[in-house]
Amino acid sequence: MANAAEDNGAFMEKFVLEPPPSSSSHPQLPLHGLTFAVKDIFDVAGYVTGFGNPDWARTHSAATSTAPAVLDVLKDGAKSNGKTVMDEMAYSINGENIHYGTPVNPCAAERVPGGSSSGSAVAVGAGLADFALGTDTGGSVRVPASYCGIFGIRPSHGAVSTSGVTPMAQSFDTVGWFARDPMILKRVGHTLLHFPDLDAAVIPTQVIVADDCFELSSIPQDRIPGILVSSVEKLYGGNHVVKHAILGDYVQDKVPSLGHFMSKETKTKDQEHNNIPSLAALSTAMRLLQKHEFKNNHGEWVTTVKPDFGPGLAERIWEAVESTVEHIEICRSVKSELRDALSALLGDTGILAIPTVPGPPPKLQTDATTLEGFRARAFSLLSIAGVSGFCQVSIPLGIHEDLPVSVSLIAKHGQDGFLLNLVQNLYRTIEEQVQAVQK
């Protein structure tokens, strides 16, 4: 393992992967001269893919080939400087790892960095790499991007190859990436998404602000949606582009299969957590299908090896492994209905704006019971793109009360290039608004 004092604990293993000879001498390649880090969930030929757990590393051989996503960025001129720490088996959004240490959040050392792509986010946030590859199943790029004050994208489901990536739950697994500025975020997208037209001008037909989702956030309204709305109106003129919606009501009306996960008992619990019932039901459907697929992927290994897991994670992983098949087809119906509903809401060039997470990063080693309400609200927000398969970018909005804050923009499935262009075009105006607020 790399020296944590030197790299904020971000790296599992440092090495250099050079671009192939045919790429290394071409400065016109989109990623020429950039360095990147790789989450320890991607296969790299000659190295064991550790999946965040030493027992996994001990019981698996070195990879014989390299994941296509890694090969793509190498071919386009980038150089890798190592593999990064992650949460065990990608089963957490906190970023804490009892075995390899918790990467140090570069924005707030006493706070969690977010997971499960914790080391990748920290490597970028601390300036140790220009960009980094991660994965996002239930939030594992979006959450650490928000907590570490950087950009992170969960692309449309299926848009980037997950071959050579250890699966968590295939219905939701995506290859995402981090960057400190939107131009590099877009350049990496040009490579991984194989889009030739990322430089096209973009004007959204509408930016829908989900008012009920922003009410889940502990950050003041003028600090997140206020900055976004001001930026959109300044860049695109007038207020005709900005719309407001109560997303929870829309989802409840348009996704009838969610009724299977909404009862008096669940609604009472949602009220206790200050949550949105339909989005909480969406989160329940996502987690049920995720558990089912995780068990199919790794249940036999877990029950055979009985690995040493950290606190909190052990309970969640064994719960998944011991779970029974329940409402799986209904969960799949929810996925289909939500994608249709949000496609109708946004159209090809509409944007949905929500908080990435419901507040700033929690303190390190916070008791799981204390975080229960926060986690419930977080997964309600994260499940929107997760279940629909839509693309989402988390955008940093500077510092509020000494902690990083962010906003997320979501676009229709397949509109990743449009979204990346929009984020780049919009961000300079957002920066001006953030600087004005922080003075």
Is 92 assigned a catalytic role? no
Of the chain, the end-to-end C-alpha distance in Å amounts to: 41
Active-site residue, selected from the candidate residues 39, 83, 186, 291: 39
Q: Which of 117, 120, 140, 408 is catalytic?
A: 140
Measured at the CA of 299, the angle between CA 298 and CA 301, to 5 degrees, comes to 65
Which residue in this structure is represented by tokens 């020296």?
A: 3
Q: How far is Cα 248 from Cα 213, in angstroms, rounded to an integer?
A: 8
Contacts 24+ apart (CB under 8 A), 256-264: 256/337, 257/285, 257/330, 257/333, 257/334, 257/337, 258/282, 258/285, 258/334, 260/327, 260/330, 261/285, 261/327
Question: What amino acid occupies position 424?
Answer: Q
Residue 30 and residue 72 in contact, taking contact as beta carbons nearer than 8 Å = no
Q: How many helices (H) and strands (E) does the chain have?
A: 16, 11
Which one of 80, 92, 116, 117 is the catalytic residue? 116
Buried b (16+ CB within 10 A) or exposed e, 21-60: eebeeeeebbbbebbbbbbbbbbbeebbbbbbbebbbeee
Q: For residue 206, which phi and psi values (nearest 5 degrees)?
A: -160, 150
Residues contacting 325, CB < 8 A, separation 6+: 292
CA distance 187 to 215: 34
Strand partners, 154: 392
3 state SS of 427:
helix
Q: CA of 229: how far to CAs of 206, 359, 396, in Å?
A: 11, 19, 15
In the annotation, is 116 catalytic? yes
Say how many C-beta atoms besides its own lie within 10 A of residue 221's C-beta.
Answer: 12
Q: What are phi and psi of 204, to 5 degrees?
A: -70, 140
Whole-angstrom Cα distance, residue 296 to residue 75?
Answer: 34
Give the residue carrying structure tokens 């397949």: 414
Q: Are 355 and 390 in contact (CB under 8 A)?
A: no
With CA atoms as reference, report the closest residue to 13 among 44, 56, 59.
44
243 is catalytic: no
Taking alpha carbons only, the member of 136, 141, 4, 130 closest to residue 77 is: 130
DSSP SS3 for 84: strand
Catalytic residue numbers, as ranges: 39, 116, 140
